[in-house]
Amino acid sequence: MRKTAQDRKVEISQAAMDLAFEVGPDQVTTSIIAKRLGLTQPAIYKHFPNKNGIWNTVADQLCGQVRVNIERAANGIHSPDNRIRLLVMGHLQLVQENPALPEIMVMRNLQGAHGHLQSQMRTIMAEFRNALVGHIEAAVSQKIFQSDLDSADASTLVFGIIQSLVLRMLLTRDPNILTQDGARLLDLLLSGFRHFEGSL
């Protein structure tokens, strides 16, 4: 069945991200995207005016997914500690599916749409951190976490799990470790935050 224009755009942008992990973001060209998908370059240009257009679409898609994850984790039916789990594991899943994202985030001398993607992701990750801090503060106020737990320090430790797993992924080139190890390490950390009877 013939793919719709929207389906083809999603396929092209995902191919760009997959190739970015394999060869490096700055080495991705419309030529190798077309080769990966079995298309011609003119077929790529039917959907995007240039390579920057592809990366702009990638930025919009990834930021949209992070925002959906933030909103899903904020659902009031979950306890604050479970909201933290949903938020962090949802983000690790997103990076596992788009493992080139960390490399783009730390690229220097960015040009064109790579810079746009990095800027957009920094903005949405600030929202992610604010949401995380809010859930930690709620857990403290509900006596799930210790009353003297500093929310900024706690959020830094949670981010430390994400960043250490991402670094291991970049070294091993194995995205699966993100969710395989993430849940266990996060539970270990959150157990150290937990309020116990007789504690402050």
- For each of the domains in the chain, give its residue range(s) and CATH number, in order of start: 1-49 (1.10.10.60), 52-193 (1.10.357.10)
Dihedral sign from CA coordinates of 150, 153, 157, 158? positive
Low-confidence spans in the chain with pLDDT less than 50: none
**pLDDT value, residue 110:** 61
Cα angle, residue 196 at apex, residues 86 and 88 outer, rounded to 5°: 15
**pLDDT value, residue 90:** 98
Number of H helices, E strands in the chain: 9, 0
Mean pLDDT of all residues belonging to the chain: 93
